[in-house]
């Protein structure tokens, strides 16, 4: 494989990774909007309602990638005529020009793909469906946790007797001394 073939493979891998991260960020933002919409506002779920949100998030991420490409281009131009040793991570020199050019190109590829996805109804619906699934998973986990706590009964817990000794020991060694110290502190403040 030649150097340029190797660079193309690396560029594809970096772009794919950037798109994966952008998709995850989009799903997370959509999940949060779905939760607010349904749980706080009490609205019914309608995927069409979130199409604009999904599009806006992808476009915002594309704009971030384009801004990163522009910043990288400025850094590349500034680095072209610097031949001394760098003084830090982001103090680029002439030997960094090639990598900065590649990073700019990768950012532009990510931005272009994000903009294309923002216009693809199927892609937007898939992101919304994934976000809805993530929202439901979070809600169901919270419901399950709440029900387990509310439904905790000694007769339903097989380990109740075995764990009772540990709970009583924790009560004696941790909780009661804390309560005693708290009561002494309150009594001191009142006195």
pLDDT of residue 121: 96
pLDDT of residue 31: 95
Each residue's pLDDT, cut to its tens digit, for the chain (191 residues) gives 555 666 777 888 999 999 999 999 999 999 999 998 888 777 788 899 999 999 999 999 999 999 999 999 998 888 787 766 666 666 576 778 888 899 999 999 999 999 999 999 999 999 999 999 999 999 889 888 777 765 566 666 777 777 888 888 888 888 888 888 888 988 888 88
Rounded to whole angstroms, the Cα distance separating 101 from 105 reads 6
Side-chain half-sphere exposure of 84, counting CA atoms within 13 A: 5
Please tell me the total number of residues recorded for the chain in this structure: 191
- Helix (H/G/I), strand (E/B), else coil: 23: helix
pLDDT of residue 58: 97
Contacts of 165-171 with C-beta under 8 Å, sequence gap 24+, read none
Angular region, 103: left φ>0, alpha ψ -120 to 50, beta rest: alpha
What distance lies between CA 16 and its chain's CA centroid?
A: 17
Environment class of 117 (CB within 10 Å of its CB; exposed 0-12, middle 13-18, buried 19+)? buried
pLDDT of residue 1: 52
Identify the H or E element spanning 92: none
pTM of the prediction?
0.70
> Tokens in use for 1?
């494989």
Contact 65, 53 (CB under 8 A): no
Picking from 113, 103, 109, the residue whose alpha carbon sits closest to that of residue 71 is 103
Rounded to whole angstroms, the Cα distance separating 47 from 34 reads 9
Contact 62, 118 (CB under 8 A): yes
Rounded to whole angstroms, the Cα distance separating 19 from 62 reads 10
pLDDT of residue 131: 96
Identify the H or E element spanning 51: helix 51-79
């Amino acid at each position: 494989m030649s150097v340029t073939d190797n660079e193309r493979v690396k560029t594809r891998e970096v772009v794919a990774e950037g798109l994966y991260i952008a998709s995850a960020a989009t799903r997370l933002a959509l999940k949060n909007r779905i939760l607010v919409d349904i749980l706080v506002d009490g609205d019914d779920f309608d995927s069409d309602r979130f199409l604009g949100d999904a599009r806006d998030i992808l476009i915002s991420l594309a704009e971030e990638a384009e801004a990163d490409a522009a910043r990288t281009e400025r850094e590349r131009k500034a680095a072209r005529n610097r031949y001394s040793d760098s003084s830090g991570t982001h103090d680029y020199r002439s030997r960094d020009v090639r990598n900065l050019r590649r990073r700019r190109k990768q950012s532009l590829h990510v931005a272009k793909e994000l903009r294309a996805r923002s216009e693809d109804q199927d892609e937007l619906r898939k992101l919304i469906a994934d976000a809805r699934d993530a929202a439901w998973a979070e809600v169901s986990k919270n419901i399950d946790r709440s029900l387990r706590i509310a439904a905790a009964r000694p007769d339903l817990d097989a380990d109740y007797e075995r764990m009772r000794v540990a709970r009583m020991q924790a009560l004696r060694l941790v909780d009661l001394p804390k309560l005693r110290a708290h009561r002494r502190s309150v009594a001191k403040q009142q006195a």
